[in-house]
Amino acid sequence: MSLLDVRDLRVTYPGGAAAVRGVDLSLDAGEKLGIAGESGCGKSTLALALLRLLPAGARVDGQVLLDGEDVLAMKWGRVRAVRWAGASIVFQGAMHSLNAVHRVGDQIAEPILLHRKATPAGARRKAGELLEQVGLPAARASAYPHELSGGQRQRVMIAMALACDPRLIVADEPTTALDVMIQAQILRLIEELVSEQDVGLMMISHDLAVLADTCDRLAVMYAGRVVEQGPARQVYEDARHPYGRALSGAFPRIGDPASRFAPRGLPGDPPDPAAVPSGCAFHPRCPVALEVCGTEDQVLREAGPGRRAACVHVGAEGATGTGTAGANASTTSAGADGSAAGSDDASATAGSDDASSPTGANDASSGTAASPDEEVRSSTT
């Protein structure tokens, strides 16, 4: 039995905004699952729904099974017991998540006092140990959030998430606004903690490269749905869905002349959750869309060992032979410079925006995809 099993999860905000539309995911203990997508794709709403942290008025359907127990069917007393102790969340934006007028040690100790029934002295001692576990001196427990750097505040958030030894940790953009050196330290810390404590990690980010380097499996979300999932490195390097290829192509690769001389971009923004296009929600932006894509919704289908993708080209002759088949030279067919996706997640109603990120698209080619070097040579001639 999986540690976490999400079945047909749907979240609709007042006004009809369908932020999450039928998501199915599973996560085992000791496994790291990445959730990727632009701002507005429903990632943060998914995270909040797992622990019933959405605002009043949001309608949630489906099942969220944590160790076989449905979180959505729990009574509120049981939900409060599960939070922190069974599953915890690292919110994006540590400065806004920490209480500015309380010392960080007291904030780490609070769930320990509530869930572990520890004495105040015991809770403070545990808070100091947790800070040392995430690489901070125990003496920093007396600091206020504004006295810490961004990386230190993020470590405090991770310490809070570990306070009651949860089985599951949901990390929503844990490295947002951190410089690359601190980002690398935080990612290595998370990996070590998951490995040592055998917890399940769901990590949410718009940065596909970070997720591919950190996670075991990767699920790509668009317009509230998972459009591709599989082994993280394979999805990043050999995406089968055009949107997955667009996200991967948006990040330059050191030493790859194609990404330097031919930057890729994906025009437009994710659709309004209250007005999702008919058929495949990605078809208005897709460089390889067919006529059927505008009328028929695409479901996840097998795209290789342990992989699935919701695309009409998946399974077609030659479409899955290479991960770049049918869409590879986006600067000519998509015809757009890289554009930043700045649409807010529908979870803004809940007061939690996804971090926006630029995404890139690949061009359509009718045959076997050309290599990056071939693209550069053809563009220069």
Q: What pLDDT is attached to residue 258?
A: 65
pLDDT of 267-324, one tens digit each?
Answer: 888 999 999 999 999 999 999 999 999 999 999 999 999 999 999 999 764 444 444 4
User: CA 158, CA 178: separation in Å to the nearest integer?
Assistant: 15
Whole-number Å distance between alpha carbons of 255 and 294: 38
- Share the mean pLDDT of the chain: 82
Q: Is the pTM of this model over 0.85?
A: no
Kindly state the percentage of the chain with pLDDT values over 70: 80
Task: Name the pLDDT band for 198 (thresholds 50, 70, 90).
Answer: confident
For 132-267, list the strands marked E by DSSP.
168-172, 200-205, 217-222, 225-231
- CB atoms < 10 A from the CB of 291, how many? 9
Q: What is the pLDDT of residue 5?
A: 97
Q: pLDDT tens digits, residue range 215-266? A: 999 999 999 999 999 999 999 999 999 999 998 887 776 777 766 666 566 8
Between CA 78 and CA 184 the distance in angstroms is 36
